[in-house]
Amino acid sequence: MINLSPMNGMLLINKPENITSSDTINLIKKKFKIKKIGHSGTLDKFAGGLLIVGVNEGTKLLNYLIERDKVYDAVFELGKTTDTLDVTGQVEYIPCPSEPPPEILEKVLDQFIGEQYQIPPKYSAIKIAGRRSSDLIREGKDIELTPRLIKIKNIRIKAYHYPYLNIVVECSKGTYIRSLARDIGDRLKTGAYVKKLIRTSIIPYSIKDAVELNKLLELHSLESAIIKLSDFIKFMPKIFIDEDEKKRLENGRSIPAKVSATEKNFAALFKGKLFAIMKLGTENNTLCFKVERLIFDN
């Protein structure tokens, strides 16, 4: 019998390939009869890996996770490309590509580390005049997407056996690994597309701590898999408030800042439970904490 008691918390899910992120959370919602559910960032259907899911009050943390850096384990196939830049698209062969030696490959990859403007894939969910660019492309319309500022923190070659290149990429939000494959392929003059993609981390959370979707769906309750909000919120500094401070915050007032820091957000805990996401501000020239989001973690 399914345990229908309401729960607030987070799930670390290892999403399998060939299922959408939306279908993944819909399966969880239906199985455990969850009132409110969401995820912290879409993985393409062909891709697998870490999907962070918010349950009930946990959904209030998802927007903060979108800002986190990600790590991907990707396999590119050189010597060809596809119209979608991934394994699902129509293959386009590159005439007479030459096999790049490892030393040239490393030099090219190094050129992509750092801040840069990246053009998103035309087959994407980016909206143009209210419509997905992928839908416009399928209708035969020619579109131009605006380059976006992203940052590649690190690229490491995991394996290279031409035509397959396996790399690990640490990058900022908004980075498209499919676009990275396209741009690396252009620089190498071989072409490239993403043959396989796994998101291994949404820093500081790792796929190593995630539960397989099929195993989660075999459970009768989420109790053993769900992470309490107070335990999950390790990507923000914590402050601990007392009863008087809690009442002030509930009434829309600020409280004096207990720390001097430059972090954007803080997690306020009351009696061991997450009570609010705070922002640092000033009031009467004094540093203070103000509520950005109340969390009703009963």
Cβ proximity of 83 and 123 under 8 Å: yes
User: Of 23, 44, 69, 142, which one is the catalytic site residue?
Assistant: 44
Residue pointed to by tokens 């976006």 = 148
Buried b (16+ CB within 10 A) or exposed e, 48-71: bbbbbbbbbbbbbbbebbeebbbb
Known catalytic residue at 44: yes
Largest separation between any pair of C-alpha atoms in the chain: 73
Burial class (CB in 10 A: 0-12, 13-18, 19+), 265: middle
The end-to-end CA distance of the chain, in Å, is: 24
DSSP character at residue 99: P
Residue 204: asked if its preceding bond is cis (omega within 30°), the reply is yes
The residue type at 104: I
What's CA 231's distance to the chain center, in Å?
Answer: 19
Write the CA distances from 164 to 88, 167, 177, 240, integer angstroms: 17, 10, 15, 51
Residue with tokens 């209210």: 130
Q: Which helix (H) or strand (E) holds 50?
A: strand 48-55
Active site residues: 44
